[in-house]
Structures are given as C-alpha cells and as structure tokens.
Structure 1
Amino acid sequence: MADPKTLPLSDTTVIVTGMHRSGTSLLAGLLGKLGLRQANLLMPPNQANPAGYFEPPDIAALNDEILGRVDRSWADPKPMPDGWMASGALTGIAERARDLFGRRFDSPRGAVVKDPRFSRTLPVWLKLMAEIGTTPVIFIASRHPAEVGASLCRRDGMSSDHAERLWASYFLEAEHGSRGCRRCVVRYEEMLSDAPQALVSAFADMGVDLGPVDAATTAELRDFVDGALHRNRLAQAEDQGPAGPDDLATRLFAHAGGDRRLVDHEKLARFHRDWQADWTRISPGAQRSDFMTRFPGWYVSRSQDLLQSGGDVDEAMALLHRAAELAPAHFRPHHLMGNVHAHLGELPAAVAAQRRAIAFNAGFMPAHMALIRGLRQMGTVEEAIRAARHALKLEPGHTNARHLLGVLLAEAGDMDAAIDAQREVIARNDSIVAAHLALCRALLQTNDVDGALRSATRAVEIAPDTLGAQHLLGSVLARRGEWEGAIAAQQRALALDGAFVPALVALSRALSSAGRTDEAIQAAQRANEVAPNHAVAKTLLKRLLAEGEG
C-alpha cells in the first residue's frame, strides 16, 4: 500500500538505520549507486567492511555522545530513559546536529545518511529534518538475529543473550522513533539476492518516486552486491548462528518480514509492552544495564579512549586484561595489548600478544601486520618474512602486507623478490607512495638507476609534499650526476623540514660536486648544528673545510 501522495526522491532525505551487522553499510552503498548523495566525509573502509561504511564518522560520534549523555552506549540494550529528549542532558545537541549536518551535506534533499545508532537517536534527527524542511524516509536494515549475534560474538565477544536483547532494542526504538514517517524494513538477504528489486519495491511501498532505473544502474547495483555476496559467503559459516529460542528478536524479525512498512500498530504495541515490562523487571531505574559490565567490548572501548586521550597506560592494560578474562578466546583484547606493548617498546610481549590474537582469529589482518612489524623491530627478519608470506596466503590482495614483505626481502638482500613484491603492490594500487619509494631503493641496490628515477619521479608526482619522496629523488639524480636537479630536490625536501639531516648532508654533497663549495659548507654546518653527534655530517664538514683551505 503506497502513501496517498507520491514524493519525488529528490525531495527527501533518506536515513538508513538498523541493528549493527545487519547490512546498513550495504544498503547505504546501494542507495548511493542510485544517485543519492553521500556525506562529504565518510568512515574509511577496513577489514570488517572492505567496500566502505558509508557513514559520516562525526555524525556517528555525535550519536555516541547523545547515548552517553543519557547513560547508554551503542552496545547497551536497555531502552532509552523515559523523557530523554526533554531532559537537560542534551543541552546544545540540537545546535551541533544542525551545524554538523550542514557541513556534511550541501543540501539535505536527495541525500542519504547512515548510522545504526540512528535507531536509538532518531528523535533528535527527525526534529532537525522538520526544522530544515525536508521529508525523511527511513530504511531499517534487518538481518536474522542469530546471524547478527554470531557476527557480534566473533567481532566483539558479545554473548548471544546480549546480542538478542540489543537487536530487539534497536528494532523497537527505530520503529517507535520513526512513527509517522515513510519507512520500510529491508532484509539483508533480499539485498543480496536482488538488490534492484528490493530497492524499487521499498520506495514504491513508501510512496517515493524513484524514477526509472536504467540497465547501467541495475548492473552497477548488482556488481556492488557481488562483492558483498562474496564476503557474505566467506563469513557465512561463522555468522550462521543457531536458530535459538523463540525470543523477542526472532519474533520481531519474523513479524517485520510480513509487515515491511510497520503498519500493524496493535501488534507492534504489544511487542513494545512486553519489551518494556521485561526491562523494568531485569534493570529498573534509568542507569545503564549490567550487560555493559559483562561485555568485553565495553572494557576494550574504555581502554582505547584512555590511550587516545593520553591516559594511564597501566589502567588501559588492566581494562584489556579484564576484557580477556570475560572472553578468553576473543582476539581483540590480545591484539590491543600487543599494540600497547609495542608502543612501550616491549617487543617480545607485543609479539606474543599478537600471536594469541591470531590463534583466536586467524584471519584478523591487523594482528598479522602488527606481528610482522614486531618481528622486524626485533631484528628477526626471516621470521617476519615467513609471517608476511603466511598473511598473504590468507589475503593475497592485502597491499600493505605485500609492501611490507617487499621491504623485508630488501632487508634480507633478496632484491629481485623485493622488486617483484613492490611492483605487484603498484600494479594493484599505483597511488601508494611507500611502494614507489621502496621500489626505488631496491632498484638502486641493483644499479638500475633509470628505473629508480622513474619510481622516485612517480612518488613525487603522487605526493609532492612528501619529505622522503623529494629526498630520494634528489639522491637518485645525484647518482646520475644531475647535480642541479639533485640540489633542487633536496632544497624542496628541506622546505618541508629544515632540520632533516639526511637532506642537509645530501644537499651539501651535491653542492660540492656542482662546484658550489661555500654553499656546501653552509649546508654541512647546518647539519652539524641540528645533529652535533652525526658522524657523517661531522666528517663531511671537516673534509669540505679542508678542501676550502687547500
């Protein structure tokens, strides 16, 4: 049943929400392919979401702050406190939301904004939509609670009971917050099986005129889903949680399958009453629930906040140990412990922690990368090479791992293999400056100066304000005897950092070779001022002064 008045899509602001790990990112990405404008700043992709989150990080952060001000968090399944919108806890939030939305979108109309936390904070944003004169359209992504629970258990160490209650709270608060809006539930499996049809059907149900979807757009939607479908199949065995009891989340999921627009208000009201009564029984009062003190992710998050704010490292480590106690076989606390140990220079402990993380999640690439770096810092280059090769067996397309393997092979003296590794990285992504620089250094070791010049020149083209690129280009030009070019490159490097001693030394040598002895002495003197104990700079200055006297 469509709304009486059909709206053009260009007159709406599409809000994508739903439980975490339910396909909100996939849905927001698909809507972007349909031509809706994304925010001008989006959270970058990572291993959990290689295609991207399509989520403005500062809007997500503001939603986290809103939740925190009423003693909730993204992971606390307890309902929002009664009257939370009218409480003094949200002073200044409306103004900040308006300012932030205006900075992320030139115009609200024809835009799509996504955050799973909107499920709980929708009233704040719907009030803003009314003030700026746009019509909100709400998409609620839905995935089976057992699959979501299995995913959250693997990612965050969350218990199945916790995940089920969180799923129910996200759904019911999204339903309650979006009443009176054009809204539709879109199932994850529908997006995977036929995304174009799922979107066309959802917009039609809500009375929104999507306009014609041509063959090229349809193909683009299917291509976008193909990547998600591939990742879904890879994770399917791990995310295929047990069917579980006939809990509230499972019943809500089943209900939404037949009531996509959530128009059965009587039945939804019964769900809400049961949900509220259950929470009144298990966690009376307005304070956060006890689920948080039993959730490893809560301690992990608190430790990360401490470390990012320059807080007490010992306290952060104690929080991570508590997370590990709650979920002994969960990888994330061990990975973060390893990062802290590495930051403190405790390399054997860092390596041991990353090995534990990998034992609990063999496919977690950040732990593999941290392990490789730790082994390299310990000077065990051959072991680091083996670790890098193992990581690449798990994820052959991981460019950072392949780049690091190339660096390690060069350190081990295997220049041909190092060159091959960096060239493969560049073939996958030509914009990685570090790969061009590493390739340049390896080519210099094999006396392929022309090839090294091409690599250094490309690095400077990509990132002209990169100190290392300008310095290395100058070094290559010096190897070719092109002294004026070498001088100019080192001067550009020093314009970026006037105290960079390698560039001062290289500049002094190039000036000397170009017959500009006085300037060479000045550069060498500056290098000695910056680093009085730099042996090469001291020797160079002594030689130049002797030559000048001669």
Structure 2
Amino acid sequence: MATKATAVCILGMHRSGTSSVTRAISLLGFYLGSEANLMGPGADNPEGFWEHTEICTLQERLLQQLNRRWDTPLPLPEGWQQTEMVRPFREELKQLVASNFAGHTSWAWKDPRSCLLMPLWREILAELHVDLRCLFVVRSPIEVTNSLARRDPISVNHAMGVWFNYCITALKDTIDVPTAFLSYDTFIASWETELRRCADILNLDWLDDEKTLHETMQAFIRPDLRHNRSNRADLADVPLPARKLYETLVAACAQTASQGNCFKREVSELAADFHAYARFFESDLQGQARPSPINRTFSRWRKSFRKRFSIN
C-alpha cells in the first residue's frame, strides 16, 4: 500500500515572516516544487519568497474571478468553492498539485492568499488522498500593517482590515485541521526551539543530520532585515476585535499540543461577528473590477458627513 502524502500549508498574512518559516520547512525535507517554479527574491524580500509561482498566479486569478484582490478586507461568502464559476479553477488546481507534487510524500506550499482559499484546498487534497497539516505564522498586526503600508499604497487601517480578514478566515476554515502556531518573534530569537515545538505538534520528522539545517538557518535568519518592531503598549491603538484575535493567536503559540474547545469557540465567535458585519459592505463589491471597496465607501461617507454637518 502506497504511503499517504503529507502536505504542510504555511499560513499567515503577507509580511508576517512566512517566507523564513517556509525556507526552514523546506530544509526539514518538505518539497516546495522545482527551483524553476519558485519565486525569486525581491526588493521587499531579499532572502526569497519560497512561493510556487503557478500556485500564486492561479490563486490571484481565482480571487479576481470572485471579485476580490489580495488586499480586499471582506470575507468570501460561505460555499464559494462550490459555485460554478470556481469549477475550472478547481480542476486546474487539482492538476497543478498532481503534476508538481506527485511522488513526493512530504511537500509544502506558501502563498498568503491560501488563507482566503483553504476550503478549496481542503477538498482537492482530500480527493487526492493527501494529509493536510498547517503551520500558522503569527506576527503582531502593528508590525504587519506598518510593513504593508510602507510597501503598498494602502492606509494602516486598510491593512489592519486585510490582516484581520486573512487571519480569521484561515482560522475558521482550518479549525479541525492539525495546526501548529509559530511566533515570528520567537522564531527570529530562537528558530530551532520554536520550529521543534511546531514539528512535534504536527508530528513532522526532524533531521538526523542537522549540520546543513543549522548552517543554512544561521545565515538565513537575519534580524537586520526586520524593519518593523512593536511592543505590547502599541496594541492599545488596535481595534478591539483585532486585538482579541491577536491575543488568541499569541496564546496559541504558547501551546505544545493542538488547540482545545475554548480556542475553537473564540475563533467561531470572532468569525461569526466578522461575517455579520461584512454584510454591510457586500453591495460595494458589485461591478467592481478592482475591488478595494472599504476605502471608497468610507471616503464617500466621510465627505457626505462633513458636508452635512459643515465640518471642515
């Protein structure tokens, strides 16, 4: 009987440190794809992204089909993966996985957009008899949003909404998937301790010969490339739902086993509230070729409010 393949998805918002963690996972023996298919370094990530370009391209096209972009702070509707418009992407992604990872019993992928698209991944991997496990990288929303605002022409508040959407959506859609939570801060300070803890939770094999792993990681982990830092006091300015979500994630990073019912209840409550409030803005997505509706809606509302009450 053939050995069932294991796939690890590295989850986390853009600018959360997922690239460094993905590189570490690859050094543990998880195949990321051929070198020709891996995205090269960029000005905003000089040590490399370690993302499969075909996966990234497909997921970006799928989000566009769903009238979303990577930076849309609105969740997808429930059951989106079962719609007729997604059917071609389902078959394409299934073929992509089969052609790129067949024959590899341990493989992994990282594209932050996967946080928004996990229901489709779960169904496809189940059909291909691949065992899914997740490694969720946690970084302060203050650092993530500041980094995004520096890199992209979006406001910090917009970036905070995107961070919340990615994190709560990924948590909701993997609530019953074996998942380890990795603290980016701890990983930078002591990568081996944090990585071993997560590997134990996910039951991932550790290398017998650690020499290459240590040499590569010591050169790869570069604190000087970290330009955004925050402390606990900075969280006072973070909106309450985002602060609660981050505190829940931080608590999960301290665990040495899978999360219990209390964690699942907190995630479910935050996700339910998020989807309920998102209904207020769904109409703004209609007919938007480049959906970034929150900023435009708020801008129109603010102008109307100021005009009505004669605020300069």
Per the TM superposition, whether the score is higher than 0.5 is yes
- 2:205 and 2:297 map into 1 onto residues whose CA distance is 45
Matched AA of 2:211: A
Give the structure 2 partner of residue 105 of structure 1: 101
Give the structure 2 partner of residue 523 of structure 1: none
Residues 191 and 113 of structure 1: is their aligned pair in 2 closer, same or farther, counting only changes over 3 Å? Answer: same
Give the structure 2 partner of residue 274 of structure 1: 273
Residue 107 of structure 1: SS of its match in structure 2? coil
Residues 241 and 171 of structure 1: is their aligned pair in 2 closer, same or farther, counting only changes over 3 Å? Answer: same
- 1:189 and 1:173 map into 2 onto residues whose CA distance is 23
CA contact (8 A) 1:45 1:51 kept: yes
User: Residue 127 of structure 1 is aligned with which of 123, 128, 133?
Assistant: 123
Matched AA of 2:99: R
User: Displacement, 1:271?
Assistant: 0.8
User: Displacement, 1:289?
Assistant: 5.4
CA contact (8 A) 2:143 2:229 kept: no
User: Displacement, 1:222?
Assistant: 3.7
% identity of equivalent residues: 24
User: Displacement, 1:103?
Assistant: 3.1
CA contact (8 A) 2:147 2:228 kept: no
Residues 51 and 290 of structure 1: is their aligned pair in 2 closer, same or farther, counting only changes over 3 Å? Answer: same
- 1:292 and 1:131 map into 2 onto residues whose CA distance is 39
Matched AA of 2:155: S
User: Displacement, 1:104?
Assistant: 2.6
Gapped regions of structure 2 (runs ≥ 5): 299-312
Bigger helix fraction? 1
User: Residue 93 of structure 1 is aligned with which of 75, 89, 93?
Assistant: 89
User: Displacement, 1:283?
Assistant: 4.2
Residues 101 and 63 of structure 1: is their aligned pair in 2 closer, same or farther, counting only changes over 3 Å? Answer: same
Residues 282 and 92 of structure 1: is their aligned pair in 2 closer, same or farther, counting only changes over 3 Å? Answer: closer
Matches within 5 A, 1:288-327: 288=291, 290-291=293-294, 293=296
User: Displacement, 1:11?
Assistant: 4.1
Matches within 5 A, 1:184-263: 184-206=180-202, 208-212=203-207, 214-220=209-215, 222-227=217-222, 229-232=223-226, 235-236=227-228, 242-243=234-235, 244-260=237-253, 261-263=258-260
CA contact (8 A) 2:138 2:182 kept: yes
User: Displacement, 1:136?
Assistant: 0.8
Give the structure 1 partner of residue 16 of structure 2: 22
Query: Does the alignment pair 1:37 with 2:31?
Result: yes
Residue 190 of structure 2: SS of its match in structure 1? helix
Residues 277 and 99 of structure 1: is their aligned pair in 2 closer, same or farther, counting only changes over 3 Å? Answer: same
CA contact (8 A) 1:78 1:279 kept: yes
Residues 21 and 294 of structure 1: is their aligned pair in 2 closer, same or farther, counting only changes over 3 Å? Answer: farther
Residue 147 of structure 2: SS of its match in structure 1? helix
- 2:295 and 2:65 map into 1 onto residues whose CA distance is 16
User: Residue 138 of structure 1 is aligned with which of 134, 140, 154?
Assistant: 134
CA contact (8 A) 1:23 1:141 kept: yes
TM-score norm. by structure 2 comes to 0.82
Matched AA of 1:70: L
Residues 59 and 281 of structure 1: is their aligned pair in 2 closer, same or farther, counting only changes over 3 Å? Answer: same
User: Displacement, 1:285?
Assistant: 7.2
User: Residue 66 of structure 1 is aligned with which of 33, 53, 62?
Assistant: 62
- 2:159 and 2:38 map into 1 onto residues whose CA distance is 26
Residues 212 and 226 of structure 1: is their aligned pair in 2 closer, same or farther, counting only changes over 3 Å? Answer: closer
- 1:104 and 1:200 map into 2 onto residues whose CA distance is 27
- 1:36 and 1:62 map into 2 onto residues whose CA distance is 22
Give the structure 2 partner of residue 470 of structure 1: none
Residue 16 of structure 1: SS of its match in structure 2? strand
User: Displacement, 1:30?
Assistant: 0.8
User: Displacement, 1:241?
Assistant: 11
Matches within 5 A, 1:408-487: none
Residue 184 of structure 1: SS of its match in structure 2? strand
User: Displacement, 1:105?
Assistant: 2.4
- 2:137 and 2:214 map into 1 onto residues whose CA distance is 22
Give the structure 2 partner of residue 152 of structure 1: 148
User: Displacement, 1:204?
Assistant: 1.4
- 2:4 and 2:233 map into 1 onto residues whose CA distance is 40
Residue 191 of structure 1: SS of its match in structure 2? helix
CA contact (8 A) 1:14 1:139 kept: yes
Higher Rg of the two aligned structures: 1
Matches within 5 A, 1:493-508: none
The structure showing larger relative contact order (alpha-carbon pairs under 8 Å, at least 6 residues apart) is: 2
CA contact (8 A) 2:199 2:206 kept: no
Gapped regions of structure 1 (runs ≥ 5): 1-8, 296-550
User: Displacement, 1:52?
Assistant: 0.8
Task: Say what the alpha-carbon RMSD is for the aligned residues.
Answer: 2.7
User: Displacement, 1:46?
Assistant: 1.5
TM-score norm. by structure 1 comes to 0.48
- 1:213 and 1:197 map into 2 onto residues whose CA distance is 16
Give the structure 2 partner of residue 355 of structure 1: none
Give the structure 2 partner of residue 353 of structure 1: none
Residues 183 and 13 of structure 1: is their aligned pair in 2 closer, same or farther, counting only changes over 3 Å? Answer: same
User: Displacement, 1:62?
Assistant: 0.7
Residue 268 of structure 2: SS of its match in structure 1? helix
- 2:19 and 2:39 map into 1 onto residues whose CA distance is 11
Residue 236 of structure 1: SS of its match in structure 2? coil
Residues 129 and 141 of structure 1: is their aligned pair in 2 closer, same or farther, counting only changes over 3 Å? Answer: same
- 2:210 and 2:83 map into 1 onto residues whose CA distance is 50
Residues 21 and 97 of structure 1: is their aligned pair in 2 closer, same or farther, counting only changes over 3 Å? Answer: same
